[in-house]
Amino acid sequence: MAGRTAAFRAWEVGCGGGTTFTTRVWWIADLPLTVNTDGLDARYDAAVEALVASLRVTDD
C-alpha cells in the first residue's frame, strides 16, 4: 500500500443473553482509512478479508 502497513486488531464482544461476536478493524495510521466489521456475521469474513486485501493506496 504505497509503502504503508495496515494495522489489524480483533476482539470478542459479549452481549446480553450470552450472544458474542468478533469485531475486527484494519487501519493505516497516517491515512483516514479504517475498515470495521462490528457485528458482521462470520460467514462474511472471507469476503471482508478479500476486500481489505484488494485496497490500493497511492501517494497521488
pTM for the whole structure: 0.77
DSSP codes joined into one string, 1-60: -TT---EEEEEEEE-GGG-EEEEEEEEETTTTEEEE-TT--GGGHHHHHHHHHH------
Question: What is the average pLDDT score of the chain?
Answer: 87
Q: Which residues pair with 26 in a beta bridge?
A: 8, 35
Which band of pLDDT confidence, cut at 50, 70 and 90, is reported for residue 46?
Answer: very high
Name the burial class of residue 13, with classes exposed (0-12), middle (13-18) and buried (19+) by CB atoms within 10 angstroms of its CB.
exposed
3-29 pLDDT, tens digit per residue, is: 678 899 999 999 888 888 899 999 988
